[in-house]
């Protein structure tokens, strides 16, 4: 913006006001009239079937796309009116497909906050359930052997597993200490036990921030302060897990399908 606005308060509140988004040339919008508030210090979960608009919704907050109509606000200021650097510092995104850059583990973790100390890096790794595998990592050979935080990462993170890549990307977002954390299905590559441990640790680490979490597994979001149920780009349910079991047929169908799958397994 030519004349950027600065938020008067910095607690990380995110608000959607009648937000509609359509990709260029598309017949129908991906999101249609979406309105909700994600309060500071609370966890808001987004759930819905494939293609319901979950990832698109999250991507509007850091302006990877701009809403076709309506407004997305962070700390009371529309993101389109906020200075890009201010918005980038406020929002930390762990994307659906986690990506790492060539360099060391430490360099990747400091991507959002270069001045972070080693203690801060290890604290973030601990929360992300990544301490064990990072401390045991060794790359290189001969005189170029590097271990732990100084071990090497290949472009794209192809020399670590999918689950390790996800955990390192989560740690990278934690190191940056944003006011808004966006987790776009960021726990899908983790086993159920690691997922549960990570979410328990995450609650303490991010307790003062706004957390918005896209999830596929209902088990990942039952403790969320509020759950937004999306269907074909519209909000069809909003409330806690127990409230939605009573009030939302779409949510009950998602829960039933997953319980049935687990029982069959």
68 vs 24, 38, 211, 234, CA distance in Å?
10, 21, 24, 15
Can you tell me whether residue 22 is helix, strand or coil? coil
pTM here is 0.92
**Would you say residue 264 has pLDDT above 80?**
no
Q: At what angle do helices 192-205 and 162-176 cross, to 10 degrees?
A: 0
Say which DSSP state 154 is in: -
- Is the domain 14-264 a CATH 3.40.50.1820 member? no
Whether the predicted pLDDT of 233 surpasses 90: yes
Bridge partners, residue 17, by sequence: 71
Q: What are phi and psi of 36, to 5 degrees?
A: -170, 165
Question: Per residue in 68-90, pLDDT tens?
Answer: 999 999 999 999 999 999 999 99
Over the Cα atoms of the chain, what is R_g? 19
Selected residue with higher pLDDT from 13 and 220: 13
Check pLDDT > 90 for residue 204: no
CB 166 within 8 A of CB 189: yes
Domain boundaries of the chain, sorted by first residue: 14-264
């Amino acid at each position: 913006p030519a004349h950027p606005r600065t938020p008067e308060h910095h607690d990380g509140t995110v608000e959607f006001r009648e937000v509609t988004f359509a990709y260029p040339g598309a017949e129908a919008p991906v999101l249609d009239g979406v309105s909700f508030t994600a309060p500071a210090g609370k966890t808001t979960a987004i759930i819905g079937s494939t293609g319901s608009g979950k990832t698109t919704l999250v991507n509007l907050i850091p302006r990877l796309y701009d809403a076709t109509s309506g407004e997305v606000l962070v700390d009371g200021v529309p993101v389109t009116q906020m200075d890009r650097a201010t918005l980038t510092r406020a929002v930390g995104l762990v994307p659906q497909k986690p990506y790492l850059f060539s360099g060391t583990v430490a360099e990747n973790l400091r991507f959002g906050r270069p001045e972070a100390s080693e203690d801060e890096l290890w604290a973030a790794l601990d929360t992300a359930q990544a301490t064990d595998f990072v401390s045991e990592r060794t790359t290189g050979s001969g005189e170029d052997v590097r271990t732990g935080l100084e071990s090497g990462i290949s472009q794209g993170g192809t020399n670590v597993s999918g689950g390790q890549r996800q955990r390192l990307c989560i740690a990278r977002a934690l190191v940056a200490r944003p006011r808004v954390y966006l987790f776009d299905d960021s726990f899908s590559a983790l086993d159920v036990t690691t997922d549960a441990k990570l979410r328990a640790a995450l609650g303490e680490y991010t307790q003062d921030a706004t957390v918005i979490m896209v999830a596929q597994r209902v088990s990942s979001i039952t403790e969320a302060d509020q759950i937004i149920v999306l269907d074909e780009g519209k909000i069809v349910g909003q409330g806690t897990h127990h409230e939605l079991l009573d009030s939302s047929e779409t949510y009950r169908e998602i829960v039933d399908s997953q319980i049935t799958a687990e029982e069959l397994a």
